[in-house]
């Protein structure tokens, strides 16, 4: 678009629209002279904008008040237990750790895989037909409901070949474990990582690559030493967004991790037994403790939802910080 | 090496499609097109019968999913329509008309609403929205008028649509506003220079130019709404009932059960072979609808190629 404008940059700047962005003539700002219908439209704009702000504030405030009212420090270190009243049902330490495990497994798969796919798409991408296919594949994965991914997970992880990843009794594979849930959740995060990383790679101007080739670096080395470090903020953003989706997903957890509220390790190996066993995460904990779930402990659900919301807010803030820092470092000049 | 990795991912997706449809096949084969039709027992009872037949060895597959499909259409359609309307206004507001301070508030707000987990929305629905609707909006006479047929408690279409709208609107807003920002400023300036006011300019020039982004955002948001299982399982009432708009406005309070939540609700039935295959058939329908949705979006965007290079 800009390339077609053949104005030599040396000449004194003609009356161009100075700084980027549409100029706002003093007249255009004034809506007083508009027709009534246009003014009404502007009022709708303001109304909708304020409505969304109000909803967000209401949600956060509500969970802040309710959550702080019910959350107790001991809940973070006490696993859930069965009981008749809400004071007997324990805390959500298992759920919190479970969320951590699932997030680590999911992002450990999604990040390298996503970056690799993004690099291939942006830097190699041959043959063109395959690139198109891969692009639509990523889009399709992004559009697949997570409940369908979960059902697919029940097939693959219940196959005898993958039996070592979950509980199996006399040849029948249970198919539910942290491994299964984490692997499927990585698919949820994958499109976000790919999209964000690709955006970062494409923002790097061509002359940077050419400079690297000119000093004799191979394509692979250029990617590893120049392009990936340069697009680190976008990779981090993608990882954060993916992490948010992994932590927030419930359908896959309910299907592939089982509806238990505690760890249920398999076998004797210290760490592996937990990963092979079933467990719970915060989302599942909220789901089961909501009045519509199997257990009805709304106070616990509030507390866990509050913790969940805080984690999400922190992730959001992290994305913001990354963005701001990346902007401070500066963008590429073409 | 990267190429091989990439091919693996493609193969994985193909495997998923094949596996899901293979597992779904018995259910479709037994019912034919009647799968999508109405009739027979209520879907809840049908699912129960299918599940029970798993032990007997004489499998029953009879399944008429119309009430689930109808519920999905109602909930998804209503919330996408409301979200489309409001998101367009909010996106225009963010990009063009909001003062700087308002923009700085709205953008994080939209991001926040997009990242709240669906189970938190569901909890909010169950503990706040549903009781409010049940206690304040539905009158006693309305409850009495359908007593014995279905109970109106607040779990129903209205609650589901309201919350789903809040869930999918942020997706639309962020994609719409990206598209609106990409409109070349010169085009807008041209219109302004002709003396058209800023409101009309923006709607006639920018919003029209950004139509591909509007289609893309709507498709993504609809896909999200279609696949939303957890929140709807908590809020929609999960009774296989078909709310009938011909009954008057009371239908918005009636409970129903869309496709995706049915899977979540019946997930313990997976061990029974016919139930398992019926659930996979539902998943196959969801997968197919999602695919059709992106295909439809692609076709719609193709016809807007005139403004290629923008948005």
When comparing pLDDT for A230 and A172, which is higher?
Answer: A230
Q: How far apart are the first and last CA of chain B?
A: 33
Tell me whether residue A46 is in a domain.
no
The Cα–Cα gap between A54 and B158 comes to 20
Query: Which residues partner with A264 through β-bridges?
Result: A278
SS (H, E, C) A249-268: CCHHHHHHCCCCCCCECCCC
Of B188, B226, B280, the CB nearest to A22: B188
Q: Where are the alpha helices (DSSP H) in B182-258?
A: 185-193, 198-201, 208-209, 211-227, 230-235
When comparing pLDDT for A271 and A283, which is higher?
Answer: A283
The Cα–Cα gap between B127 and B75 comes to 20
Tell me whether residue A20 is in a domain.
no
Q: Are B122 and A287 in contact (CB under 8 A)?
A: yes
Q: What is the pLDDT of residue A73?
A: 83
Residue listed under structure tokens 């009805």: A296
The three-state secondary structure class of A278 is strand
Tell me whether residue A27 is in a domain.
no
Residue listed under structure tokens 């190699």: A124
Number of domains in chain B: 1
Q: What is the pLDDT of residue A29?
A: 52
pLDDT digits (tens, 9 = 90+) for B164-197: 999 999 999 999 999 999 888 899 899 889 988 8
| Residue of chain A minimizing CA distance to B196 | A28
Tell me whether residue A42 is in a domain.
no
A56/B113 touch (CB, cutoff 8 Å), yes or no: yes
Q: What is the pLDDT of residue A2?
A: 42
Radius of gyration of chain A (CA): 25
A17/B186 touch (CB, cutoff 8 Å), yes or no: yes
Q: What is the pLDDT of residue A276?
A: 79
Query: Which residues partner with A169 through β-bridges?
Result: A172
A48/B223 touch (CB, cutoff 8 Å), yes or no: no
pLDDT digits (tens, 9 = 90+) for A104-157: 999 999 999 999 999 999 988 888 899 999 999 998 999 899 999 999 998 888
For residues B210-234, one letter each, b for 16 or more C-beta atoms within 10 angstroms of the residue's C-beta and e for the rest, the string is bbbbbbbbbbbbbbbbbbbbbbbbb
**Sorting pLDDT into bands at 50, 70 and 90, what band is B242?**
confident
Tell me whether residue A231 is in a domain.
yes
B97/A45 touch (CB, cutoff 8 Å), yes or no: yes
Residue A19 clears pLDDT 60, i.e. is over it:
no
Q: What is the pLDDT of residue A11?
A: 43
Residue listed under structure tokens 């059902």: A151
B3/A124 touch (CB, cutoff 8 Å), yes or no: yes
Q: Percent of chain A, pLDDT > 90? A: 37
User: How far apart are the CA of B3 and the nearest CA of chain A, in angstroms?
Assistant: 7
Number of domains in chain A: 1
Structural element, H or E, at residue A214: helix A206-214
B227/A45 touch (CB, cutoff 8 Å), yes or no: no
Q: What is the pTM of this model?
A: 0.88
Residue A15 clears pLDDT 70, i.e. is over it:
no
Q: Which of residues 133-192 of A touch B (CB under 8 A)?
A: 133-134, 137-149, 151-152, 154-156, 187, 190
Residue contacts between A and B (CB atoms, under 8 Å) = 237
Chain B CB contacts of A17 below 8 Å: 185-186, 189
pLDDT digits (tens, 9 = 90+) for A287-333: 888 888 777 788 888 888 999 999 999 999 998 888 888 776 656 65
Mean of per-residue pLDDT scores for chain A: 83
Mean pLDDT of B223-244: 88
The three-state secondary structure class of A168 is strand
When comparing pLDDT for A158 and A190, which is higher?
Answer: A190
B10/A140 touch (CB, cutoff 8 Å), yes or no: no
pLDDT digits (tens, 9 = 90+) for A266-280: 776 777 777 778 888
Q: What is the pLDDT of residue A21?
A: 52
A290/B126 touch (CB, cutoff 8 Å), yes or no: yes
Tell me whether residue A37 is in a domain.
no
The Cα–Cα gap between B289 and B36 comes to 13
For residue B237, what is the DSSP state?
Answer: B
Tell me whether residue A182 is in a domain.
yes
Of B23, B115, B120, the CB nearest to A305: B120
| Residue of chain B minimizing CA distance to A121 | B6
Domain that holds residue B240: 2-307
CATH of residue A68's domain is 1.10.3720.10
Of A175-184, B10-19, B245-254, the range with the lowest mean pLDDT is: B245-254
Q: What is the pLDDT of residue A331?
A: 61
CATH of residue B240's domain is 1.10.3720.10
* Complex-level ipTM: 0.89
- Judged by a CB distance cut-off of 8 A, whether residue B127 touches chain A is yes
**Sorting pLDDT into bands at 50, 70 and 90, what band is A58?**
very high
Tell me whether residue A98 is in a domain.
yes
Mean pLDDT of A37-51: 91
Domain that holds residue A126: 63-329
When comparing pLDDT for B76 and B272, which is higher?
Answer: B76
| Residue of chain A minimizing CA distance to B260 | A147
Residue A174 clears pLDDT 90, i.e. is over it:
no
Task: Please spell the DSSP secondary structure of B166-187, one letter per residue.
Answer: HHHHHHHHHHHHHHHHTS-HHH
| Residue of chain B minimizing CA distance to A58 | B124
């Amino acid at each position: 678009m800009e390339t077609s404008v053949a104005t030599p940059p040396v000449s004194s700047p003609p009356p161009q629209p100075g700084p980027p962005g549409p100029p706002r003539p003093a007249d255009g700002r004034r809506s007083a002279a508009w027709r009534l219908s246009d003014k009404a439209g502007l009022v709708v704009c303001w109304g909708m904008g304020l409505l969304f702000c109000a909803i967000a504030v209401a949600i956060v405030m509500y969970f802040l008040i309710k959550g702080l009212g019910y959350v107790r420090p001991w809940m973070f270190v006490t696993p859930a237990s069965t009981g008749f009243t809400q004071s007997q049902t324990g805390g959500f330490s298992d759920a919190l750790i479970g969320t951590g495990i699932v997030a680590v497994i999911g992002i450990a798969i999604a990040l390298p895989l996503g970056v690799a796919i993004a690099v291939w798409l942006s830097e190699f991408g041959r043959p063109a037909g395959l690139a198109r296919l891969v692009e639509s594949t990523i889009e399709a994965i992004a559009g697949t409901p997570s409940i369908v991914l979960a059902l697919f997970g029940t097939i693959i992880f219940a196959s005898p070949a993958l039996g070592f990843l979950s509980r199996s009794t006399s040849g029948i594979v249970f198919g539910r474990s942290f491994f299964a849930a984490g692997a499927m959740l990585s698919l949820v995060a994958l499109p976000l990582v790919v999209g964000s990383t690709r955006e970062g790679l494409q923002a790097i101007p061509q002359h940077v690559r050419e400079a690297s080739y000119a000093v004799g670096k191979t394509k692979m080395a250029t990617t590893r030493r120049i392009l990936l470090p340069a697009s680190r903020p976008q990779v981090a953003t993608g990882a954060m967004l993916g992490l948010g989706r992994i932590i927030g997903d419930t359908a896959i957890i309910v299907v592939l991790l089982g509806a238990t509220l505690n760890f249920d390790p398999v076998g004797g190996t210290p760490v592996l037994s937990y990963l092979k066993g079933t467990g719970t995460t915060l989302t599942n904990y909220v789901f089961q403790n909501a009045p519509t779930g199997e257990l009805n402990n709304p106070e616990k659900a509030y507390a866990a939802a509050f913790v969940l919301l805080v984690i999400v807010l922190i992730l959001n803030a992290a994305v913001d910080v990354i963005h701001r820092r990346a902007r401070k470092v500066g963008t590429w000049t073409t | 090496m990267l190429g091989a990795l990439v091919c693996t991912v493609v193969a994985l997706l193909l495997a998923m499609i094949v596996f899901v449809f293979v597992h779904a096949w018995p259910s479709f084969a037994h019912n034919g097109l009647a799968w999508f039709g109405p009739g027979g027992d209520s879907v809840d009872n049908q699912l129960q019968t299918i599940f029970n037949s798993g032990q007997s060895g004489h499998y029953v597959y009879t399944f008429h999913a119309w009430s689930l499909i109808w519920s999905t259409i109602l909930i998804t359609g209503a919330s996408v329509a409301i979200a489309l309307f409001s998101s367009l206004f909010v996106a225009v507001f963010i990009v063009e008309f909001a003062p700087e301070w308002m923009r700085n508030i709205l953008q994080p707000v939209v991001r926040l609403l997009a990242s709240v987990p669906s189970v938190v929305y569901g909890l909010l629905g169950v503990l706040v929205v549903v009781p409010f609707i049940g206690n304040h909006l539905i009158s006693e006479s309305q409850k009495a008028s359908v007593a014995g047929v279905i109970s109106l408690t607040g779990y129903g279409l209205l609650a589901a649509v309201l919350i789903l709208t809040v869930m999918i609107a942020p997706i639309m807003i962020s994609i719409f506003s990206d598209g609106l920002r990409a409109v070349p400023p010169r085009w807008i300036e041209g219109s302004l220079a002709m003396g058209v006011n800023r409101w009309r300019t923006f709607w006639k020039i920018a919003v029209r130019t950004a139509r591909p982004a509007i289609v893309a955002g709507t498709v993504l948001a609809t896909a999200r709404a279609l696949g939303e299982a957890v929140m709807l399982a908590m809020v929609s009432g999960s009774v296989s009932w078909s709310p009938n708009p011909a009954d008057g406005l009371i239908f918005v309070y009636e409970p129903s059960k869309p496709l995706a939540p049915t899977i979540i609700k019946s997930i313990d039935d997976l061990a029974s072979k016919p139930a398992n295959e019926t659930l996979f058939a539902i998943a196959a329908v969801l997968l197919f609808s999602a695919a059709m949705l992106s295909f439809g979006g692609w076709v719609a965007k193709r016809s807007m190629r005139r403004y290629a290079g923008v948005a």
